[in-house]
């Protein structure tokens, strides 16, 4: 390490000298003939999301799903091959911004799968918009992303605005809950989802709310409030680690009300964190089709191919990643090799994907969205069905 610092000192000097020497060439040019190494008939498609870091678990499955789609496509020896370029943002907007800038300025990607998270989408969206590069996210669910007037942005998942009401509707219809306690962990995604549930429940149920600390472990005060409120059901907006902790502490305090959460909690980690014995009466709403929990033959086939390729179960948003990539592949197959044309193609795209029918509304949302409800069964999840029709066994 010490030697490294020394060498880097030298490199720094070299870099400065280089820049001076190249002064005559005149600064950086974004356009022009950079990136000349590409073989004819190859286009680049990027992926932006957290491939490392604490939130990588939600971005890696869609990344793998997309990679599977591109690999399968390239194996067919098409006229235009696709080079898949993953950019690891760690889920941090500060990291995503330079990567997206590089993707459009230097690498000249023609389309992007992602950005994976809503937070980074807000920083990256304007960049893609100005560069006129279409993006299809498999996992960013914040409502307001579709309200920015972006023309190049799409997603293949329903937003929290659809997920929240669907979850709320499931709580009141299938579970007949009249008193509902809503908890979130003060993160962007969590608060948005909790707000959406809260808004839908207005007038239909008595609601009380509290927040827990994302990094905390003692949720006693929240548990006390829930216990005092004595609800028919508890809804938690947030990720599985916090959901597991909350669920465990609730059950330990003898709160046996049904527990429901959203897509961020759809993970085996919830069951491990809460303990199998505590994860009773637990339901998850998700706009996703979980490869490992579905009986649909097409989804099953995908789950097998996925497992063979990555030696892992097709977890959350893997099918969506595959569908997002497939939409882009279909555009390129149809002979659209520049970003502008791919975007035009996506506007008219309509096809049954692995997860659902993929057809975009003008604002980039899916034109029809379905929310599915899963229930914890043993160490795993089972699909109860579409939230509108699913019932509690």
Partner 1 sequence: MFNDLVSQFWPSTIDGLALGSIYALIALGYTMVYGVLRLINFAHSEVFMIGTFGALLTLNILGVTGPVSGLTFVGVLFLIAAGAMIASGGTAVLLELVAYRRLRKKGASRLAFLISAIGASLFLQELFALVVIPEGFDRPQAGRIQVPVPALMEKEPLFSIGDAVVRNDKLLVFVGAIVMMIVLDLIVNRTRIGRGIRATAQNPESAVLMGVNIDRVVLMTFLIGGAMAGIAAALYVVEFENTQFFVGFLLGIKAFTAAVMGGIGNLRGALVGGLALGLIEAYGTSMLGSEWQHVIAFSILVLVLMFRPTGILGESLQQARA
Partner 2 sequence: MSHSKNTTGIGPVRAAMRKITTPFDEMRDWWGRAPGWVRWTVYGLVIVAALLAPSDSVGAFMSPESDWATILFYPIGVFVLLAIGLNVVVGQAGLLDLGFVAFFAIGGYVMAVIGTELGWNFWEIIVVAVLISSLSGIILGAPTLRLRGDYLAIVTLGFGEIVRLVAQNTDAIGGPRGINSIPHPPDMSDIEIIPDLQPFTYGVIDPRPYYYLLVALCVLVIIFARRLEKSRVGRAWAAIREDEDAAEIMGVPTFRFKLLAFAIGAAIGGATGTVFAAKMISIVPNNFPFILSATILAAVVLGGSGNLPGVILGAFLVGWLPERFRGFEDYRVLLFGGVLVLMMIVRPQGLLPSRQRSAEFAEGSGMGGMGAEVATPTAKAEVSSR
Binding site for partner 1 (CB under 8 A): 54, 56-57, 186, 210-213, 215-222, 224-225, 227-228, 241, 244-245, 248, 252-254, 267, 269-275
Q: Please pick, from the candidates 88, 169, 281, 320, the single residue that binds partner 2 as defined by CB under 8 A.
A: 88
Q: What is the footprint of partner 2 within residues 284-343 (CB under 8 A)?
A: none
> 224 is in the binding site of which of partner 1, partner 2, none (Cβ under 5 to 8 A by kind)?
partner 1
Q: Which of 82, 126, 133 is nearest to 105 (CA)?
A: 133
CA dihedral 161→167→169→174, nearest 10 degrees, is: 170
Q: What is the footprint of partner 2 within residues 207-266 (CB under 8 A)?
A: 211
Residue 99, interface with partner 2 (CB under 8 A)?
yes
For 74, phi and psi rounded to 5 degrees? -65, -25
> 108 is in the binding site of which of partner 2, partner 1, none (Cβ under 5 to 8 A by kind)?
none
Cβ nearer to partner 1, comparing 49 with 134: 49
Tell me the per-residue interface mask from 32 to 71 with partner 2, x by CB under 8 A, - otherwise.
x-x-----------------x-------------------
DSSP 360: B
Q: What DSSP string runs through 128-180?
A: HHHHT--EEESS---GGGGGS--SSEEESS--HHHHHHHHHHHHHHTS--SEE
> 269 is in the binding site of which of partner 2, partner 1, none (Cβ under 5 to 8 A by kind)?
partner 1
C-beta of residue 113 within 8 angstroms of C-beta of residue 47: yes
DSSP 366: B
> 8 is in the binding site of which of partner 2, partner 1, none (Cβ under 5 to 8 A by kind)?
partner 2
What is the total residue count of the chain?
Answer: 393
Residue 31, interface with partner 2 (CB under 8 A)?
yes
Buried b (16+ CB within 10 A) or exposed e, 265-292: bbbbebbebbeeebbebbbbbbbbbbbb
In three-state secondary structure terms, 39 is coil
Determine the Cα–Cα distance for residues 45 and 360; give it in Å rounded to an integer: 19
Cβ nearer to partner 2, comparing 190 with 261: 190
> 15 is in the binding site of which of partner 2, partner 1, none (Cβ under 5 to 8 A by kind)?
partner 2
Cβ nearer to partner 2, comparing 163 with 282: 163
The total of other beta-carbon atoms located within 10 Å of residue 120's CB is: 27
- Cβ-count burial of 208 within 10 angstroms (0-12 exposed, 13-18 middle, 19+ buried)? middle
Q: Which of 286, 244, 307 is nearest to 370 (CA)?
A: 286
CB of 223 to partner 1, least distance (A): 8
Tell me the per-residue interface mask from 177 to 206 with partner 2, x by CB under 8 A, - otherwise.
---------xxx-xxx--------------
> 217 is in the binding site of which of partner 1, partner 2, none (Cβ under 5 to 8 A by kind)?
partner 1
C-beta of residue 120 within 8 angstroms of C-beta of residue 92: yes
CA distance from start to end of the chain? 60
CB of 186 to partner 1, least distance (A): 5
> 94 is in the binding site of which of partner 2, partner 1, none (Cβ under 5 to 8 A by kind)?
partner 2
Residue 127, interface with partner 2 (CB under 8 A)?
yes
Cβ nearer to partner 2, comparing 186 with 224: 186
C-beta of residue 293 within 8 angstroms of C-beta of residue 380: yes
- The binding site for partner 2 (CB under 8 A) comprises 1-2, 5-6, 8-9, 11-12, 14-16, 18-20, 22-23, 25-32, 34, 52, 88, 90, 93-94, 97-99, 101-102, 104-106, 119, 122-123, 126-127, 129-131, 142, 144, 148, 186-188, 190-192, 211
């Amino acid at each position: 390490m010490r030697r490294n610092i020394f060498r880097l000192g030298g490199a720094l000097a070299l870099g400065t000298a280089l820049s001076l020497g190249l002064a005559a060439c005149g600064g950086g040019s974004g356009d022009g003939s950079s990136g000349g190494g590409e073989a004819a008939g190859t286009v680049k498609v990027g992926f932006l999301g957290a491939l490392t870091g604490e939130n990588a678990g939600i971005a890696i499955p869609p990344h793998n799903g997309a990679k599977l789609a591109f690999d399968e496509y390239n194996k067919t020896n098409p006229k235009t091959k696709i080079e898949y370029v993953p950019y690891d943002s760690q889920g941090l907007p500060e990291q995503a911004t330079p990567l997206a800038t590089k993707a459009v300025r230097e690498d000249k990607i023609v389309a992007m799968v992602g950005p994976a998270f809503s937070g980074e989408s807000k920083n990256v969206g304007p960049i893609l918009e100005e560069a006129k590069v279409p993006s299809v996210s498999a996992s960013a669910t914040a409502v307001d992303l579709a309200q920015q007037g972006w023309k190049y942005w799409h997603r293949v998942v329903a937003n929290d605005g659809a997920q929240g009401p669907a979850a709320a509707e499931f709580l009141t219809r299938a579970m007949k809950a009249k008193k509902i306690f809503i908890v979130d962990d003060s993160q962007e995604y969590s608060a948005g989802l909790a707000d959406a549930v809260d808004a839908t429940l207005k007038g239909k149920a008595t609601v009380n709310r509290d927040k827990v600390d994302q990094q905390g472990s003692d949720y006693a005060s929240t548990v006390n409030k829930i216990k005092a409120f004595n609800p028919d059901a508890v809804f938690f907006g947030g990720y599985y680690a916090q959901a597991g902790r909350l669920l465990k502490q609730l059950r330990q305090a003898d709160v046996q009300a049904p527990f429901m959460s959203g897509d961020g909690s759809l993970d085996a980690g919830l069951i491990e964190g809460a303990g199998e014995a505590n994860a009773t009466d637990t339901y998850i709403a998700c706009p996703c089709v979980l490869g490992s929990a579905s009986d649909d033959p097409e989804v099953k086939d995908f789950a097998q191919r996925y497992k063979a390729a990555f030696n892992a179960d097709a977890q959350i948003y893997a099918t969506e990643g595959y569908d997002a990539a497939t939409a882009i592949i279909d555009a390129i197959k149809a002979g659209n090799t520049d970003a502008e044309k791919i975007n035009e193609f996506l506007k008219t795209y309509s096809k049954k994907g692995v997860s659902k029918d993929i057809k975009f509304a003008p604002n980039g949302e899916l034109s029809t969205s379905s929310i599915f409800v899963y229930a914890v069964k043993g160490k795993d999840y089972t699909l109860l069905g579409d939230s509108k029709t699913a019932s509690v066994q």
